[in-house]
Amino acid sequence: MIFQFKITLKDSKPPIWRRFEVKDTMTFYDLHKIIQIGFDWMDSHLHGFDVRKSNGYQIHLGNRIGPILDDDFGFSRCDYDEEVVQLKDIFKKEKDRVLYTYDYGDDWEHEILLEKILPTDKKAFYPRCTKVMRDTPMEDSRFLYFETGIVTEAVNGKLFMEEYNEILKEAFTKDESENSKIEWSKLLYNVDRYKDLQPWKWMSDDQIFIIQDPETEEFIYCSILGKSGIEYGLAAFIGDEGHTFLQGLSKKENANPHFYMKQRSLHLSFSNRDELETEDYKLLKAFGRSYFGKKQWPQMRSFKPGYYPWFLNEEEVRLFSIVLDQTVKVCEMAKKNPDLIGFNDGTHYFVRAYNKKKKKWESGEITLYPNENYQKNLPLYINDIELMKLKKIQKRLNTSVEFDCRYFATPIQDFPDEQPYFPKLLLAVDKKRGLVLFNEFMEIQNEVEAVQKGFVQFIIEMESIPREVFVNEETAHSIIQIAKSLNIKLIVVNSLPVTEEVYKEIDEMMRKGKF
């Protein structure tokens, strides 16, 4: 996706501002470079980003992004590394805002406003400047504007925009293209090493081990695929979501396609030539790769909760390359020592982690307990005013209700080349009579937000508050704050049999084209 930013120099009269279109996968360090170019700064002072509004919510303290410096000055300390944090990690919704400060002596403050989220234009180069208003002040000149405010002259915006875009193209073309080629080259080299090793001959898919990402320090849970002789490859489950998904695989209630749509993983499989997408084939040929025989062509996909499996982005290419490189080393060690990696019990893991002080990879063991806090303290997406309105509803619904949220199996793609997503279907069903009381499709990607807003919408449409609601554990975590506020009894169960029957009817109608 493309973020359209309006960046305004604060205290300027009339406003001095620029409009930029930037890839959402760029880092805050990239944005720093863009601002330096667009405002004619010389990058000779310290800088930092302060998050003011993210995902539609005001942020107050403890969210500074910038360079990580080893000095003793408090103003230069940052909570997050600008070279690691991507723009999409902070900017979630239009109107989200970040404050960029340059030169902590002069305090040039720039408000960065996310105006629009746009589809990618294949013909365009990003980043690009699309609007320029007024000239910028000189470096180290803030003392000139103490009484008047920052006042500068009008300029030929079109001419300035063209000049900025030439500089931006020169600055980012080399970095982007060369870095991308280098990372892809590393990844494909490690894919070939992994394929040649054929570790599935001595390792099973339930011998889970961990590779720690040296940049984010997240745990990546790795599973070797191929022992059964059906599918060959590697599954790498990322972070808390990955751990939770692995813990849930053994539960009978999760034996459904909906559960698998919730995984966060990177997946490598060795496929036949005719199973590749055109993009896969072009990529391999561009790097001089050609393979012969069955199950030889590598195919990589990114799985994100609620999204259709998609091609890897730049950050995922970096991560998967590291994972594969260390996976090869783990598998070589396991071949020499078959007892090195035990079968998955959900708690004890062999781990490879990078020691930054010693500048080398090290092996170890770690014990992880069920992630009990993963679903606790979830944010409330319903504001106090909405809750007050709900509390005014006097009528009680004197029937037991099953309430559930499930991904709908037909993906939606809003823009060409953008990752398709699965819309969410929310259902409220009368448990005794089997009647559907509420159904709503939601395109909100955040599942917790979708469940909360769907539950509120159900109450509003019924004009009554249910006395008791049967839910699964995940849904209960999402709506428990609302339920407590409205004195609704939540009954957590492993299965929702009446709702399951409704889902089956919907699936049947879909197959017949009647839904």
Residue among 400, 394, 377 at smallest CA distance from 486: 394
Domain 384-512 has CATH 1.10.3720.10: no
- Residue 222's DSSP bridge partners are 209, 236
The answer, yes or no, to whether residue 514 has pLDDT greater than 90, is no
Domain 2-174 has CATH 3.10.290.30: yes
Label residue 423 by pLDDT band (50, 70, 90): confident
Query: Measured between alpha carbons, how far is 492 from 480 in angstroms, rounded to an integer?
Result: 11
Query: Measured between alpha carbons, how far is 300 from 455 in angstroms, rounded to an integer?
Result: 37
Is this model's pTM higher than 0.75 or not?
A: no
- Give mean pLDDT, residues 416-441: 90
- What are the strands, taking DSSP E only, across 400-488? 401-407, 424-430, 436-442, 465-466, 468-471
The answer, yes or no, to whether residue 393 has pLDDT greater than 80, is yes
Query: Measured between alpha carbons, how far is 482 from 254 in angstroms, rounded to an integer?
Result: 26
Label residue 338 by pLDDT band (50, 70, 90): very high
The answer, yes or no, to whether residue 73 has pLDDT greater than 60, is no
pLDDT, greater one: 367 or 267? 267
Burial class (CB in 10 A: 0-12, 13-18, 19+), 131: middle
Read off φ and ψ for residue 407, nearest 5 degrees.
-65, 135
- Give mean pLDDT, residues 391-414: 89
Fold match between 2-174 and 384-512?
no
Query: Measured between alpha carbons, how far is 363 from 361 in angstroms, rounded to an integer?
Result: 7
- Coil vs helix vs strand at 361: strand
The answer, yes or no, to whether the previous bond of 127 is cis (omega within 30 of 0) is yes
- In sequence order, the 6+-apart residues with CB closer than 8 A to the CB of 249 are none
pLDDT of residue 74: 45
pLDDT of residue 359: 87
Task: Give just the sign of the alpha carbon dihedral 66, 67, 72, 76.
Answer: negative
Half-sphere exposure (CA, 13 Å, Cβ side) for 407? 23
Residue among 5, 98, 96 at smallest CA distance from 47: 98
pLDDT, greater one: 378 or 45? 45
Domain residue ranges of the chain, discontinuous segments joined by +: 2-174, 179-367, 384-512
pLDDT of residue 308: 92
Contact indicator for 270, 297 with CB cutoff of 8 Å? yes
pLDDT digits (tens, 9 = 90+) for 160-195: 999 999 999 988 876 666 667 888 999 999 999 999
The answer, yes or no, to whether residue 152 has pLDDT greater than 60, is yes
Label residue 373 by pLDDT band (50, 70, 90): very low
